[in-house]
Amino acid sequence: MPRISGVDIPENKKIMYALRYIHGIGPKSADMILAQAGVDGQRRANELSDADISSIAAVIDTSFIVEGTLRRQVQQDIQRLKDIRSYRGERHRRGLPTRGQRTRCNARTRKGRKKTVAGKKGVKG
């Protein structure tokens, strides 16, 4: 299994799809990397020579922030928003959607499972 930037990529997939298993590399980035490295994207990952793998790794190391560094940078950005007490930071702090979605219904991904409130129905008064 080839390793690029510290990540095992699947060897039976075409390299243009296998590169997407690296956190921070999507379809467009994978195409750019392969164009700069001069590697055909239709070749399978297990068909690549060591020179091809090293050229791909060199392009990724010089041009892209990937894996642990990217995750750390995203967490630092979120922490900065929390520290300056911005609206988005408060939404992160409370575990609510940060990009303007409604929360009256839906938003279960961010809010978690439903918390049933007792005594809401059937109260007469």
**Beta strand pairing call for 3-4 and 7-8:** antiparallel
Task: Flag whether pLDDT at 120 surpasses 70.
Answer: no
CA nearest 3: which of 48, 65, 41?
A: 48
Answer yes or no: is 102 within a domain. yes
Task: Flag whether pLDDT at 119 surpasses 80.
Answer: no
Distance from C-alpha of 37 to C-alpha of 25, rounded to nearest angstrom = 15
pLDDT band at residue 99 using 50, 70 and 90 as cut-offs: very high
Tell me the pTM: 0.79
Quick one: tokens of 52? 């091809």
**What does the pLDDT read at residue 121?**
66
pLDDT in tens, 45-96: 999 999 999 999 999 999 999 999 999 999 999 999 999 999 999 999 999 9
Residue numbers of the domain that contains 73: 68-111
Task: Flag whether pLDDT at 125 surpasses 80.
Answer: no
Burial of 28 (0-12, 13-18, 19+ CB in 10 A): exposed
Query: Which CATH number belongs to the domain containing residue 27 in this structure?
Result: 1.10.8.50
What is the number of domains present in the chain?
A: 2
